[in-house]
Chains A and B, each alone.
Chain A
Amino acid sequence: MSHPLTKPVLAVLAEVQPMLGLHGGSIELVNITPDNIVQLRFVGACVGCAAADITLEYGLKEMLMIRIEEIEDVVAVNAEPVTHDAPAIPLYAHR
């Protein structure tokens, strides 16, 4: 990915990773389109989480667009369909 905004976008994402990590999730940069739309993918516990959209709309998008003037928009692209199967490693276990 050789888009000129890749480096600054990754720097902002690195700043928010610890917060998402606390919730068992993470975010990846998928692509930046030629018209400067940043495409992100939530992973881990963020996938299917009801708060992920809010994190994107009211946190990440705002942060990225304030910090990097050239960005036109920030969208989430989820490659994997959301499933509600039991995770391989359970988040909690009943005795």
Chain B
Amino acid sequence: MLTVKNLHAGVATQEILHGLTLSAKPGEILALMGPNGSGKSTLANSIAGHPAYTVHSGSICFENSEILELEPEERAQKGIFLAFQYPASIPGVSVSHFLRLALNAQEKARGEVPTGVAPFIKLLRAQMKTLDIPISFAERSVNDGFSGGEKKRLEMLQMLILKPRLVILDEIDSGLDIDAIKIVAEAVHVLKAASPETIFLIITHYQRLLNHIKPDTVHIMRAGEIIKTGSFELAHELEKSGYANL
């Protein structure tokens, strides 16, 4: 269960979210739409604990505990995952190392036995097949020289390896071709099948990704607040008439 209550947040002293309230039940897929600057990414980053964003007041509860006081890595250890709009490159760190160390860090924090190298490579290979990523990428540096589509696939690979309980996809579909969008949707379906209680918060401008993922609820944001909530039909409506009529 994710509950965001009366959240006032922004960058430095500028408030972008003006008392946003939102909740999601286990297993729910939420779509968050809205014009540029409406606060979608601010919400995503506030949940993940991005240090550039400040929460002035309100609360964010995930699985019965307040997460606002937690460091970003502690939130990740609780199973919160944010896929970036613009993923960063890490030259010198291989995809395989990066993903295994991320997984092992989460396992250690949860008191589990860290996955060893051999079983990890098998898991990695299987998930890379799901996402149609050549295995040779496992030895390359994280996002270094990757195309836009390859970077987004790597975000999805992280998601499948870490099996988060709250997934936030922040405009994962921006700049993606139709085939890559289908792969993102497939990754969501694979994770949902493996972890039915995982909540998805999908931030997008376009209906195309939602056609493949089928959200349970669609929220429309404007000027830091949710101004309309509806079913998948609301996304269709928006695609036809834009934000002006809301």
A interface residues (Cβ-Cβ under 8 A, vs B):
57-58, 61-63, 65-66, 69, 72-74
The bracket for how many chain B residues form the interface is 10 to 19
Known: A66-B135, A66-B138. A61 touches B125 (CB 8 A): no
- Does chain A have a CB within 8 A of B117? yes
Q: How far is the CA of A90 from the CA of B236 in the complex (A)?
A: 77
Residues of A within 8 A of B138 (CB): 66
12 A-B residue pairs with CB within 8 Å: A57-B117, A58-B117, A61-B117, A61-B118, A61-B121, A62-B117, A62-B121, A66-B125, A66-B138, A66-B139, A69-B135, A74-B118
Whether A73 lies near B97 (C-beta < 8 A) is no
In the complex, the chain B residue whose C-beta lies closest to that of A66 is: B138
Number of A-B residue pairs, CB cutoff 8 Å, is 26
Residues of A within 8 A of B125 (CB): 66, 69
Residues of A within 8 A of B121 (CB): 61-62, 65-66
Chain B interface secondary structure, helix, strand, loop or mixed? helix
Whether B117 lies near A65 (C-beta < 8 A) is yes
Q: How far is the CA of A4 from the CA of B158 in the complex (A)?
A: 33
Q: How far is the CA of A2 from the CA of B97 in the complex (A)?
A: 32
Q: How far is the CA of A73 from the CA of B125 in the complex (A)?
A: 14
Residues of B within 8 A of A62 (CB): 96-97, 117, 121
In the complex, the chain B residue whose C-beta lies closest to that of A75 is: B118
Known: A63-B139, A66-B135, A66-B139. A72 touches B96 (CB 8 A): no
Residues of B within 8 A of A69 (CB): 125, 135
> Nearest chain A CB to B118's CB is how many angstroms away?
4
List the 7 closest A-B pairs by CB distance, nearest first: A65-B121, A73-B118, A61-B117, A66-B138, A57-B117, A62-B96, A62-B117
Residues of A within 8 A of B135 (CB): 66, 69
Residues of B within 8 A of A66 (CB): 96, 121, 125, 135, 138-139
> Nearest chain A CB to B23's CB is how many angstroms away?
42
> Nearest chain A CB to B134's CB is how many angstroms away?
11
17 more A-B residue pairs beyond the given contacts A58-B97, A61-B117, A72-B118, with a C-beta to C-beta distance below 8 A: A57-B117, A61-B118, A61-B121, A62-B96, A62-B97, A62-B117, A62-B121, A65-B117, A65-B118, A65-B121, A66-B96, A66-B121, A66-B125, A66-B135, A66-B138, A66-B139, A74-B118
